[in-house]
Structure 1
């Protein structure tokens, strides 16, 4: 079971040097979420061009679970988990100039990718970690200013789920008003994609296996909802909605054989934005429909720091609010993990400090 192995430092005796500040953090002692333990640890100190951030909220991703289970490469244990966060700068290291003490910030997911079509080969290949703690030292280059219109819990959802959707819809998909987009599912990336596409004037068709989730998506701005369990050939529903034209783009979350149905739902010149692999880690589709439609398939991931800054400005301007399914306190990480594993409409967030 996930444990809380907190230890309390002994009081300082008279004449002794004061002890270094302490904090709480989660540690993973071995692969698997059952190996997570909440412990007392020494608070880190920033080095050159680093800042100390008081972590306020951490957003959980399915990718986090894969990492903790050892399915995205071997981790050195004990490992401090957590990647996407929002917080406040409390101390500057030498030569740090991008932020001031008191600034509200959001973390960047990929190091050394400021801008450009793809990160360099020297950058990190595994998502950043160490954020499920009360404090973290972060390179100043891996931070951006937090949105003015969002609190820490909502802002913590932006670095991966928000930016992945932005890269799909805006940077790669080049969404335009009047287009028809199909968005699959109601997870964090999908709901961001729905909101971004609708905010740019596109008509969004949402697919889900739940009528209740479809109703929620309609409330966020979707024009239509299709229950793919009740209508496995959901591409025909898309064609009916578009009077036979098809969708300009599909946010593909399942992969596997679902991709073939997504292709059948496309308009000529349409685009598949491949984000997820919920059904399979492979894709399967006949070549003929791809050629007939002159279709494009784009693989989507998170983007550079510049794109995250652009997205945050748009969120402030458009009034978009991330969908937070639930918020848990730091000590309630086991419940947050269980919620994520069970499926959530939107993002699951851990509140670290107020």
Structure 2
């Protein structure tokens, strides 16, 4: 079978198409024919060698994907041949708190990812793809969608009438917008692009703030919420934006720390957290239990992921260059044809 392999970090041209032996499922494993995969910021950082953890190479990249089960090993009970499944990011976090997650079992690093024609999955590390989604749409779920769901629903217990602030218009933020609206919450979006803000409003956001024109955007958030602040923040900017998130949060609000697109350097005064009694938590994607609950909601509400652009799966270097340009609105997908 063919697979894309990262042989050396630091250069996207080091992603090469290679021939590998056809894998065979062992006990409690399934073999899938990969139909589509999707990019996350993590994948780009691993390829460039900037990720906070260095993984052993060579590595097949990408954690997100969907495929059709074409063979099963002994004692497999959760799936049958012909089923359409998504891989989970945390291969051994089936449920419960993050204490149950094992760092050495993350798909796309340190475990090989899904950027190949076929892949082996433990049957406990897969979920049924939502029946209302295409392969391209379902491929986007394992990281970005589960992260947004974990933040707002599993951990955040979002309620109707609350207000959510999402930073930017990447995958996590747009999924958070959709889940928040489906829960009856209001959403404010920040972006450097007026065009993207208008597109976010077309998805249901009631307010948008251009943070380039308004660097102290927390004041605008307070104006939009009559001084109360927001109940939930999807914090993807990192230390540079965290100060504004704190100022924008309501008393007893929640800040979900997910990314660091604005850089990893900065100062945070813990007294600011204390004064508002804000709850700050890191969101390391989520468990299979969260994934399955999210998929039930996606089917029930017929929610559709926002897809920006689709590339052929072998054109991964160009897809990552496009992803890095940050002009996208939503997810970038790699389609496996054939």
Is the pair's TM-score, using the shorter chain for normalization, greater than 0.5? yes
Q: Equivalent residue for 1:265?
A: 248
RMSD of aligned alpha carbons: 1.6
Instruction: Provide, for residues 124-183 of structure 1, a one-character-per-residue CA deviation record: whole Å limited to 9, x for no partner.
Output: 264443311111111111111110100111101110000000011111121111111111
Instruction: Provide, for residues 273-325 of structure 1, a one-character-per-residue CA deviation record: whole Å limited to 9, x for no partner.
Output: 11111112245333443222111111111111111000000011112111111
Helix, strand or coil: the match of 1:124?
Answer: helix
Return the alpha-carbon distance in structure 2 between the equivalents of residues 84 and 102 of structure 1: 20
Q: Equivalent residue for 2:216?
A: 233
- Is contact 1:134-1:353 (8 Å) kept? no
With normalisation by structure 2, the TM-score equals: 0.94
**Offset at residue 78 of structure 1 (A):** 2.7
Helix, strand or coil: the match of 2:90?
Answer: coil
Q: Equivalent residue for 1:330?
A: 313
Structural mapping, 1:314-325, within 5 Å: 314-325=297-308
Helix, strand or coil: the match of 1:201?
Answer: coil
Q: Equivalent residue for 2:92?
A: 112
**Offset at residue 45 of structure 1 (A):** 1.0
Return the alpha-carbon distance in structure 2 between the equivalents of residues 229 and 190 of structure 1: 18
Q: Equivalent residue for 2:64?
A: 84
Residue 121 of structure 2 is aligned to residue 141 of structure 1 = no
Q: Equivalent residue for 2:4?
A: 26
Helix, strand or coil: the match of 1:57?
Answer: strand
Report the structure number with the largest CA radius of gyration.
Answer: 1
Helix, strand or coil: the match of 1:53?
Answer: strand
With normalisation by structure 1, the TM-score equals: 0.90
Q: Which segment drifts farther, 344-353 or 330-339?
A: 330-339
Structural mapping, 1:141-220, within 5 Å: 141-220=124-203
Helix, strand or coil: the match of 2:273?
Answer: helix
Return the alpha-carbon distance in structure 2 between the equivalents of residues 280 and 324 of structure 1: 26
Q: Equivalent residue for 2:36?
A: 57
Return the alpha-carbon distance in structure 2 between the equivalents of residues 159 and 203 of structure 1: 25
Q: Which segment drifts farther, 127-136 or 97-106?
A: 127-136
Return the alpha-carbon distance in structure 1 between the equivalents of residues 78 and 63 of structure 2: 21
- Is contact 1:272-1:295 (8 Å) kept? yes
**Which among 68, 76, 93 is matched to residue 47 of structure 2?**
68
Return the alpha-carbon distance in structure 2 between the equivalents of residues 172 and 314 of structure 1: 16
**Which among 273, 276, 279 is matched to residue 293 of structure 1?**
276
Residue 82 of structure 2 is aligned to residue 97 of structure 1 = no
Return the alpha-carbon distance in structure 1 between the equivalents of residues 58 and 251 of structure 2: 51
Structure 2 residue runs of 5 or longer lacking an equivalent are none
